[in-house]
């Protein structure tokens, strides 16, 4: 059984692998994480030092504060890592090939959690007619996204 976890950015220029078990999986609602991900929160999981290897390319880094730097793909912009200088690097859960295997177990940064966050899962979905139009658009799409596996 494969205990490792692989992932990478959307264009495939940067790929990583973590051997063995991952650490804590979280979502962070803080304003810096919202901005860094261009999203409502940051989903991050810790990768113990020595267990993480960049198997293709390496991220570029932005020092978002005096204590933290954030890694991203300089070609496609995918947020990839959060490094606070500790014994483990945090990796973006959504960048893993199989994010379904990494359910968050805690949420932090609650002071900036958006007021409507808890209602997201209850949002309405497309009507069958709207879905049919969307399916038409996507029927002949040609993806340039890296596949969710090492080639």
* Residues found near Zn ion in the complex (CB under 5 A): 9, 11, 13, 73, 75-76
Q: Which is nearer to Zn ion, 53 or 105 (CB)?
A: 53
Q: Rounded distance, CA 79 to CA 64, Å?
A: 13
Query: Which residues is 45 bridged to in the sheet?
Result: 25, 91
Q: Which is nearer to Zn ion, 13 or 69 (CB)?
A: 13
Query: Min. distance of Cβ 30 from Zn ion in angstroms?
Result: 25
Query: Min. distance of Cβ 7 from Zn ion in angstroms?
Result: 12
Query: Min. distance of Cβ 32 from Zn ion in angstroms?
Result: 22
Q: Which is nearer to Zn ion, 11 or 108 (CB)?
A: 11
Q: Is 143 helix (H, G, I), strand (E, B) or coil?
A: coil
Q: Which is nearer to Zn ion, 68 or 76 (CB)?
A: 76
| Nearest of 25, 27, 44, 54 to residue 117 by alpha carbon | 27
Query: Min. distance of Cβ 78 from Zn ion in angstroms?
Result: 5
102-117: b (≥16 Cβ within 10 Å) or e: beeeeebbeeebeeee
């Amino acid at each position: 059984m494969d205990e490792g976890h692989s992932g990478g950015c959307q264009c495939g220029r940067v790929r990583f692998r973590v051997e063995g078990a991952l650490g804590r999986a979280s979502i962070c609602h803080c304003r810096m994480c919202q901005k860094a991900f261009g999203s409502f929160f940051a989903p991050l999981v810790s990768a113990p030092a020595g267990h993480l290897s960049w198997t293709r390319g390496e991220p570029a880094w932005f020092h978002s504060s005096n204590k933290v730097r954030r890694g991203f793909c300089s070609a496609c912009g995918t947020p990839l890592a959060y490094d606070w200088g500790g014994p483990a690097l945090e990796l973006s859960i959504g960048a893993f090939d199989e994010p379904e295997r990494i359910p968050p177990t805690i949420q932090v940064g609650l002071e900036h959690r958006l007021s409507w966050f808890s209602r997201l899962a209850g949002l309405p979905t497309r009507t069958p007619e709207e879905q049919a139009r969307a399916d038409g658009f996507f029927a002949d799409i040609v993806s340039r996204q890296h596949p969710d596996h090492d080639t």
